[in-house]
Amino acid sequence: MLAVLSPGQGSQKPGFLSPWLDLPGAEARLRWWSTLAGVDLIHLGTAADADEIKDTARTQPLLVTAALLAAEQLPMHDVAVVAGHSVGELGAAALAGVLSPESAVALAGLRGREMAAACALEPTGMSAVLGGDADEVVAAIEHHGLYPANRNAAGQIVAAGAVDALAKFAAEPPASARVRALAVAGAFHTPYMAPAEAALDAVAGGVTVADPARILLSNLDGTSVTDGAEMLRRLVRQVTAPVRWDLVMKTLRELGVTGVIELAPAGTLAALVKRELKGDGAPEIVTLNTPGDLDAARDLIARHSTAPTHEGATR
């Protein structure tokens, strides 16, 4: 069984889209998606520097379009499972058939703009907490009035909230843990993003959805979502809810996934999967960063594909 993963914010690299523009129709596709997203995706993916593509309003549609562009080169009908990290869930929802690519790109543009605007309302941020006992780390985060915004893997939890509370938390780290400030615009996946959630909710009723054609795992709790309308509700809620990527990986293990492809710009999720799903039955992994990686990705799909099914996917 094979899973395709769509990365989230922080995975972008300057110029990473440049090699993809050589594919037939890719440039025209990106120009159309730029219109829907409200940003120049070609410039952002080829000529923009690291600071420019760090802007939430630009990064989010850029990542979703990159994943979709890469996935269009693959035989997705042979892929059983899809999942995405944070904004990557919009890409995963499109790959599952819940959203059209156009809806996913437009929603990513709106999501990015509104989350950037929410970040500007008051000084907030995020800090990675590395190591320590998970329960003790979460308790310490909440003790300081912060939120466990991301639980990416064992020993990798992200605290988010007001910058003064983050400073106090860093000065009093949990036992056996290190706290490292992250270069982000604000406290994503916390109640501070409520204005962005409201903006997405205001348009959700006009978005056409379908039930997923393959197993689609949710960041909310790691389970498979089989109803398109429910997935859209989760995508709206996700901007204020924690990302439980640890639970997504747990489900990948339970499903018996034997192969994983991370879409462009790849590396972050592949590293987490390699670390967490090791030992007997560890999945074979391909990172899809350039068109030169397509043959390896197609070969992996051919060797690990099974008929998509929702049977046994919900925990």
User: Known catalytic residues?
Assistant: 86, 189
Q: Is 238 exposed, middle or buried (0-12, 13-18, 19+ CB in 10 A)?
A: buried
Contacts of 24 (CB under 8 A, 6+ apart): none
How far is Cα 191 from Cα 187, in angstroms, rounded to an integer? 8
Can you name the residues that pair with 262 across neighbouring β-strands?
A: 5, 287
Instruction: Fill in the DSSP letter of residue 264.
Output: S
First to last CA, the chain: 17
Instruction: Fill in the DSSP letter of residue 97.
Output: T
Is 62 within 8 Å of 39 (Cβ atoms)?
yes
Is 56 within 8 Å of 112 (Cβ atoms)?
yes
The three-state secondary structure class of 23 is coil
How far is Cα 44 from Cα 61, in angstroms, rounded to an integer? 10
- Give the tokens for residue 7: 């990365």
C-alpha separations of 238 from 61, 119, 263 in Å? 16, 16, 21
Instruction: Fill in the DSSP letter of residue 147.
Output: E
- E strand or H helix at 64, and its extent? helix 56-71
